[in-house]
Chain A
C-alpha cells in the first residue's frame, strides 16, 4: 500500500508517495537521495540515522514514513547554506571531531537540537544528550569539545 505525505524537507515543501510500511530512513535515503542518513543498527540505538523532525532528533529507522506527514524534516544536507557551514559543522572541522565520519551527520544534528534546547550545556549534559549517538572510531572527546565550542560561538553570535 502506498500513501502520499507532505513534508517540509530541508526547507522545501515536498509531496512524497511512500509505502505505508516504509521507514523515514528508507524514504529519505533511497527515495530522496539523502545519503547522509545512514543505517547502522536499524533498531534506534546508534543514532547514525538521526534526523530532526520538527526540531526533535529522532531515529529515522524507527519512524514509519506516513507518521512524518505534515512535519518539518531536517537532515545534515539542510543545515549548511551553500558553502556556509552551520557553526556546529564548523566546530566539528576545527576540532577534527571525526574519523570515518559515518556517524557525523547524526552527531551534528543531535548537537544542533541540544543547543536549541540548551545554549550553554555542561560536558555532562552533552554526553547525556548524545548518549544515543555512537561513534565506533571513538572520537568522543573531540566531539564534546566541538559541541562546547559551537555553543560558545553560537551564544556570542546571538548576543
Chain B
C-alpha cells in the first residue's frame, strides 16, 4: 500500500493533487461530476473585495497544446463568497483542503479580503494572486520587488493561516521574487501562473480575445513550469506548489521530483474532469511500480 499523503503548512493533505484557481469555480461546480472531497484540495476562483463581471468576450480560445484565456477575474466578490460559497466548502469538504485565491489592485484590496474571511470556517489558507496577466495592474505586485515585499508583510501581519503566493513566470529571475516572499513571512509559493500571449484572427484582422491579450496555459507551458518550480524549490525552504500543464500522474511526478510538495491541475480539467482523480490513482501506480512506500519521499528527489 502506497501512502500518498503529505504534510504541508502543518496539516495533512490526503494526496498532493489540487485543482488550480480559475479552473474549478468554487468547488461545487464539479460536485456532480467528480468526488471533490477525494482530492488533495482545491484553490478557489480569485476573490476580490467587490464583485467583478470580467472581460468582454471572446474570453477563451485553443492554442497549440493549450489555451489562451482572459477572464478578467470575474467573481462574486468578498461578501457573496463568504455568504454563499464558503458554506458549501465547509459543509461538503471534510478531507480536501481549500485555499482561497485572493486578488486585488492595492495592498488594501488584498487586506480587505483576508481580513473579511479570516474568522470564517471552510478553508485552510490563502493563495495570493500577484500574477494575473489579464487585468490592468494584475501582475504589478508579482513583478515589483518592493510592492511584493510590502504586500506579503501586510498580509502576514493580519493572518496566521497559511499564506501562499502565486508567482508569475514573467520576470527575469523568479528566484528573486521567491526570496522576497520567504523573507517577508509567506508560508509557500505556487509556481506558475500563465504566460501572456496573443492570437489573431487573420480574416477579421482582429485579436481573437476580447481583451486583446490573454494568459497561455496547458501542456505547452509544462516544461517552463517545471523549470520555475525547480528553480524556486532549490532556492527557498518554503513548500512549493507546482502548476502548469499537468495532464496526468507522470506530469505531476515531474513537478514533485523538481521540488513541488503539492501540485495543481488546471487547464487539463477542462479537457477531462476526471484528470484529477486519475492523476491521484496514477501517482499511486507509479509509486507501486517504483517500490516507493511514501510519495512524499520523492519531493525534490531529482538527481542532478
The answer to whether A and B belong to the same complex is no
Q: Which residues of A contact B (CB under 8 A)?
A: none
